[in-house]
Every structure is written in C-alpha cells, then in structure tokens.
Amino acid sequence: MNSEHKEQTMLINWFRLQYPRYNKCLFAIPNGGARHIRTAIKLKEEGLLAGVSDLFLMIARDGKHGMFIEMKTKKGKLQQNQIEFLAQAEVMGYATVVAFGFDDAQKNIINYLNS
C-alpha cells in the first residue's frame, strides 16, 4: 500500500507532465506533519490552519474558483476540521474533493478540467 505522501507525489508529477502549461497551478498546502514545537507555534501565528486541504488547483472551471483536494489513503478518514474546511470552501464557490489515492485524485482532476 502506498502512503499518502507517495500518492500525492505521484499526482503532482503526473499533473506537471500532463498539463505543462498549468505546472504552477497545482500545489501543496503543507499543513500536516510532525514539527518542532517552536516551528508549530510560529506557523500558527503566521496563519497555519488545521483542516485545510492538502492541495489546491488554481484553475477556474464551471463557475468554481478552483478546487481543493484532500488526499487520503484508500482507508483514510476525514477529521472533523477537514470536513468543516471542505464545507466552507464549497460555500465560498470552490470545488472540493476527497481523493482516496492517486487514481481517484487523477480522475477528479481530469473531470474537473473537462467540465
């Protein structure tokens, strides 16, 4: 089984090869991961927000301003703060998706870009 990190890395690499003209339009939002306590405090002071999705696709389509992508492993589960963030993003006019691995994320990106 691949880790969320590997799946996300595969997705970024695929996207940049598949859509070179948009290579800066899909990027990570590094909210997760273990950090030294001082770094965590500093990042929170700077605006780090728990629950924000892993990736953002900065391309408007079909009346949406862009798409937030929350990556999960095949058996991954959303945390409450992630559910709340995704709901608020939808209200604000963004597409949202919870992708269970590379294949799911790839399919959702293709569908979004073709809408």
Global confidence as pTM:
0.92
Average pLDDT over residues 15-41: 90
Between residues 42 and 105, the one the model is more confident about: 105
**Structure token pair of residue 40:** 């965590």
> So what's the pLDDT on residue 32?
72
Residue 25 near residue 57 (C-beta atoms within 8 A)? yes
Rounded Cα–Cα distance for residues 17 and 111 (Å): 17
Residue 51 predicted with pLDDT over 50:
yes
Structural domain that includes position 86? 4-113
Residue 49 predicted with pLDDT over 60:
yes
Calculate the average pLDDT of the chain.
94
Least confident of 7-11, 37-41, 84-88, 98-102: 37-41
User: Into how many domains does the chain fold?
Assistant: 1
- For a pLDDT cut of 70, what percent of the chain falls above it? 97
Domain containing 51 — which CATH number?
A: 3.40.1350.10
